[in-house]
Amino acid sequence: MSEMATLDDHRRTARWLALLLLAVGLHIFEASMPNLGPWLKPGLANIVTLLALPLLGVRAACTLALARVVIGALFSGTLLTPTFIISLAGALAATLIMAVAWQALPMFSLVGISLFGAVAHMLAQFVVVEALFIQQHALYYLLPPLLLLSLLTGWINGVIAEYVTRRIGIR
């Protein structure tokens, strides 16, 4: 590895930062949207994590998701509150499983990868809420309808990511 950063390195950094800004913007937009339900968000910021997989690779996608949640919480004033812990757990679980699926399961397009992420996100949030805040197994009665909705939003987000990768020239 040479000492000097190459033009490609700079392009990678610039692309990472551009995606981070996009992700933070979507994160804040989502946080300020009218609530569709207590734990129901379309997960738009996750589209950026999906885009980062083909554009920047697995490691950059993980750092991007982590940075997005922390910076987004700074802007919305929820740092270290329950909201932050829940959204951090969801984003980390989704990103990790999407990264593993992206590497290990090449038969899935970004649509399938997004489904993995959506389900992981919802399950991780429930586990964290049950473990840290509510501590009642009855909480899981809420899970099926929310999982059904997360499959729907996951599919839509994956399709959006597919469209975007086409438009920016990854044929």
Q: Which is nearer to another protein, 23 or 157 (CB)?
A: 157
State the nearest-atom distance from the C-beta of 67 to another protein, in Å: 18
Q: Which is nearer to another protein, 66 or 119 (CB)?
A: 119
Query: CB neighbours of 144 closer than 8 A, spacing ≥ 6?
Result: none
Q: Which is nearer to another protein, 26 or 161 (CB)?
A: 161
What's the DSSP call for residue 138?
G
Q: What residues line the site for another protein (CB under 8 A)?
A: 7-8, 11-12, 15, 35, 37-38, 54-58, 60, 81-83, 86, 102-103, 105-109, 111-112, 115-116, 119, 129, 133-136, 138-144, 147-148, 151, 155, 158-159, 162-163, 166, 169-171
Q: Give the other-Cβ count within 10 Å of 83's Cβ.
A: 14
135: left (phi over 0), alpha (psi -120 to 50) or beta: left
Give the tokens for residue 135: 């501590």
